[in-house]
Structure 1
Amino acid sequence: MPTSVRFLHCGGFRFDSPDWEGPEKWTALRNQDLWQTFQAVLNLCQTENIEFLFITGNLFDQEYVRKETVERVAGSLAKLQDTKIFITPGRLDPHIITSAYRLTVWPGNVYIFSSGVSSFPFPTHNLIVSGSGWTAYHQEKSFLEHYERSKDGTIQVMLLHAVMESEKSPEGYIPLRQEQIASSNLNYLALGHNEGWSGIQKIGETTLADCGAVEPRTFADQGPHGVILGELSIDSSRFEFKELAQRAYITKNLSLQGKDNLEDMVEEIIAGIGQGERERNLYRINLKGSLTDIESIIQPMQKLLEKKLNFVEVIPLESKGEPSIEPSWRVVENSEGFPTLAHLFLKKLKKRLAEADEDQKEYWGLVEKIGQTALGRGRVFDDY
């Protein structure tokens, strides 16, 4: 009988989501990056002899997922014949009646959690893996409500797409309370929701971590992105965070005050950036100054920087303060090449918000919520 269990914990792939911040031409590149990172995860499972792969939510984006994508993921996971794979559906890919998880036949080494807490014992490893998945676009109750397991000499792991009460609770989430975690008597609580990894924490006797998303999607997603490698036994644990992200989003601010030489400004921006970083990372240059100065310099600077940086966009710093719509409402076309009704609605709403004064923003925010509900994005029912 093995004395320890080796696992890999990851999440937040969001296959088929168009939510990549930056110019539209970056989207195809970042989708390709995501598949490369997914393959890197599979390779790690093989080279590190990973026995259990934990995927804690948002493997897909239910709003955009395609059948061929689900089939490709399932086919790839089937190749990990020596690895048992556990998936907990999350906020963006709940296990509803139209779920992405129903679009293919999953291989026998894949376990997908649904409503309620389910447990799978592995006596040969002295291990019990438990978890619960989202079955609606909101939670009715905490996943750990009334959950307590006594210590029985087994290694106990749970997978949840959830947040802690110490964090700002997003809409639709009921956070886990510290006393619930402490009384769970879990050896490891594998969480998913955050964009970046949380670090290893401990509450009571339970070690926990949120792995974060494997790839950053916006310029706000700073810090490392990757997976957690772990080894558990009854008396000890070992964890390692391994960065796998193909690229980073880098923001640089530049004030135009007192500057008039464009070449010098470009050199100031790229100073200290290594050649490898220039070729790999995604850069946003925020220009601060008078509107007249910015308008006259933004295009010439963009052209010069494109000779130095593979992926760069130059924008006015003030534009960051404009009201923003949830990224998943970005205007994209459907399979027939025409914008969907939802995206046309959000495109017009974004314009209204940009023109609104402070008193009007609350009104247009309410319009957005009503529109989301009417167009299906704001579904709050459980149709599983």
Structure 2
Amino acid sequence: MKFIHVADIHLDMPFKALGYLGEKRRLEQIENLKKLIDLIKLESIEYLFIAGDLYEHEYIKDYTMNMLIEMFKEIPNVHIFISPGNHDPYVKESMYEKYSRLFPENVHIFKSFECIETEKANIYGYGFTDFYDEGIDFTNFKIKENGKRNILVVHGDLDGSKNDEIQKKYNPLDKKELEKIGFDYVALGHIHKSNYNPMETTIYPGSFMNYRFQDDNAGFIKGEFKKGIVYQLTNNHRTDGFRHMEEEKLYIEHITFDDRIYEEINVDITEIRSIQELITHIMIKKLNKMNYIKINLIGEKNFEINTRYIFDNLDMENIIKINDLTTINYDLEEISKENTLRGVFVKNALKEIEILSDSEEDIKKKQNIQKAIEIMMEEMRNS
């Protein structure tokens, strides 16, 4: 039994951070999906599991859905199972509902928890019917014992706490509970970072492509249940201590088609004396033009930083963000002890910075506070 397990494709994602490059990235989604269909044909794959977030509910276009359906029609002998997630829930006026009569017969889209029996496997699935879902109740649930493989396809948060107000909104799942039930494979979606391990059977493949700086190891799983040699320890001292047995077991591998990653680079400006020198310094770096790059400016600044000016003067379209994380070349701790106006100002500013976190919102607040200190210090120095 051969299968492909993919999740978090996010068709027609807006890619706001990429600006005009977003359209190119959306085309790459379609191109990579076509590659996946070609692989399914080439490898004679029998099952395709899509574990949620196939598309973006707010942005998905009819044109994209029609292309997707045509791709599914190219593989009529493949069992396709889709478990909608929080970005593509099966809600009223969703694309799943709108195109329900146009999907080919080999496609099954889960809503309520159910089991579909096929010739080789019992496929269990569950889909989001709202943008939030508090999950499946597995109390007293038992898998079928009919000699077939039992596979769960579901979008959710593995080991997400049901007492956590955020995590419980995204179908929290308990790994130990799933293992106790005895599924042969659990095809998960929702977390963009893959937990791929060839010895595991409860798997997040990661997002289909890299979509954010947090994403890691994007791709999908190709799996097969096939016969292999199992070595079992014996107590027979007349032999080598092992019994060789042939039985069917699961083999999986993680594959990626995505050539791009979101790369974060730190640039220390301590020894740089002007903004033009900084621009030249960045441009001569050997940056991978295939990747989307975020530059963090760090170190002590010796000149005023204008990230907009730097961004506009870099002839590199794949640099999509520049963060000013530099510090001012002053001993602010000493200044904060002064019984002066600037001492009081700096002391209060440092207190505000101290309580801020490393979230993107708080980083911006820190930058604004540091900018205010910088302006104040420069004005006092020039007065």
Runs of 4+ in 1 over 6 A off after TM superposition: 351-356
1:303-358 per-position Cα deviation (integer Å, ceiling 9, x unaligned): 3552xxx511351334985418xxxxxxxxxxxxxxxxxxxxxxxxxx999989xx
What CA distance in whole angstroms lies between the structure 1 residues aligned with 2:188 and 2:195? 9
The one-letter code sitting in structure 1 at the alignment partner of 2:323 is: P
How far is 1:267 from its partner?
Answer: 6.4
Q: How many residues align?
A: 309
Query: 1:170 aligned to 2:136?
Result: no
What CA distance in whole angstroms lies between the structure 1 residues aligned with 2:303 and 2:266? 15
1:192 alignment partner in structure 2: 189
- For structure 2, the residue ranges without an aligned partner over 5 or more in a row are 227-246, 327-357, 370-383
1:224 alignment partner in structure 2: 217
2:112 alignment partner in structure 1: 115
Go from structure 1 to structure 2 and tell me whether the alpha carbon gap of 1:322 and 1:133 turns closer, same or farther (over 3 Å shift): closer
Helix, strand or coil for the counterpart of 2:361?
A: coil
Query: 1:317 aligned to 2:331?
Result: no
The one-letter code sitting in structure 1 at the alignment partner of 2:179 is: A
Q: Is 2:175–2:202's contact at 8 Å kept on the other side of the alignment?
A: no
Helix, strand or coil for the counterpart of 1:160?
A: strand
Counterpart mapping for 1:298-337 below 5 A: 299-300=309-310, 303-304=313-314, 306=316, 311-313=318-320, 315-318=322-325, 322-323=360-361
Go from structure 1 to structure 2 and tell me whether the alpha carbon gap of 1:92 and 1:166 turns closer, same or farther (over 3 Å shift): closer
Go from structure 1 to structure 2 and tell me whether the alpha carbon gap of 1:37 and 1:165 turns closer, same or farther (over 3 Å shift): same
Counterpart mapping for 1:302-381 below 5 A: 303-304=313-314, 306=316, 311-313=318-320, 315-318=322-325, 322-323=360-361
1:269 alignment partner in structure 2: 285
1:53-108 per-position Cα deviation (integer Å, ceiling 9, x unaligned): 11000001112222222222111111112211111111111111222102221111
Query: 1:87 aligned to 2:117?
Result: no
Q: Is 2:76–2:106's contact at 8 Å kept on the other side of the alignment?
A: yes
Using CA pairs below 8 Å that are at least 6 residues apart, which structure has the higher relative contact order?
A: 1
Helix, strand or coil for the counterpart of 2:77?
A: coil
The one-letter code sitting in structure 2 at the alignment partner of 1:161 is: H
Query: 1:293 aligned to 2:299?
Result: no
Go from structure 1 to structure 2 and tell me whether the alpha carbon gap of 1:142 and 1:353 turns closer, same or farther (over 3 Å shift): farther
Q: Is 1:143–1:176's contact at 8 Å kept on the other side of the alignment?
A: no
What CA distance in whole angstroms lies between the structure 2 residues aligned with 1:120 and 1:112? 11
What CA distance in whole angstroms lies between the structure 2 residues aligned with 1:95 and 1:150? 26
What CA distance in whole angstroms lies between the structure 2 residues aligned with 1:257 and 1:263? 14
How far is 1:40 from its partner?
Answer: 1.3
Query: 1:235 aligned to 2:251?
Result: no
Query: 1:97 aligned to 2:113?
Result: no
2:37 alignment partner in structure 1: 42
What CA distance in whole angstroms lies between the structure 2 residues aligned with 1:263 and 1:179? 52
Relative to the length of structure 1, the TM-score reads: 0.72
2:53 alignment partner in structure 1: 58
- For structure 1, the residue ranges without an aligned partner over 5 or more in a row are 325-350, 357-384
Go from structure 1 to structure 2 and tell me whether the alpha carbon gap of 1:297 and 1:10 turns closer, same or farther (over 3 Å shift): closer
What CA distance in whole angstroms lies between the structure 2 residues aligned with 1:50 and 1:218? 30
1:223-263 per-position Cα deviation (integer Å, ceiling 9, x unaligned): 32111000025730100100111311111011110123447
How far is 1:24 from its partner?
Answer: 1.0
Go from structure 1 to structure 2 and tell me whether the alpha carbon gap of 1:294 and 1:219 turns closer, same or farther (over 3 Å shift): farther
Larger Rg: 2
Deviates more, 1:59-68 or 1:190-199: 59-68
What CA distance in whole angstroms lies between the structure 2 residues aligned with 1:240 and 1:294? 50
The one-letter code sitting in structure 1 at the alignment partner of 2:313 is: K
1:347 alignment partner in structure 2: none
What CA distance in whole angstroms lies between the structure 2 residues aligned with 1:321 and 1:259? 28
2:148 alignment partner in structure 1: 154
The one-letter code sitting in structure 1 at the alignment partner of 2:194 is: W
Query: 1:10 aligned to 2:26?
Result: no
What CA distance in whole angstroms lies between the structure 1 residues aligned with 2:293 and 2:324? 14
Go from structure 1 to structure 2 and tell me whether the alpha carbon gap of 1:142 and 1:202 turns closer, same or farther (over 3 Å shift): farther
Q: Is 1:251–1:284's contact at 8 Å kept on the other side of the alignment?
A: yes
Q: Is 2:7–2:54's contact at 8 Å kept on the other side of the alignment?
A: yes
Go from structure 1 to structure 2 and tell me whether the alpha carbon gap of 1:228 and 1:297 turns closer, same or farther (over 3 Å shift): closer
What CA distance in whole angstroms lies between the structure 1 residues aligned with 2:109 and 2:307? 53
How far is 1:215 from its partner?
Answer: 1.1
Helix, strand or coil for the counterpart of 1:24?
A: helix
The one-letter code sitting in structure 2 at the alignment partner of 1:27 is: G
How far is 1:166 from its partner?
Answer: 5.8
The one-letter code sitting in structure 1 at the alignment partner of 2:318 is: F
1:113-138 per-position Cα deviation (integer Å, ceiling 9, x unaligned): 1112x222223x3x211111111222
CA RMSD after TM alignment: 3.1
Relative to the length of structure 2, the TM-score reads: 0.72
What CA distance in whole angstroms lies between the structure 2 residues aligned with 1:64 and 1:98? 13
How far is 1:150 from its partner?
Answer: 5.1
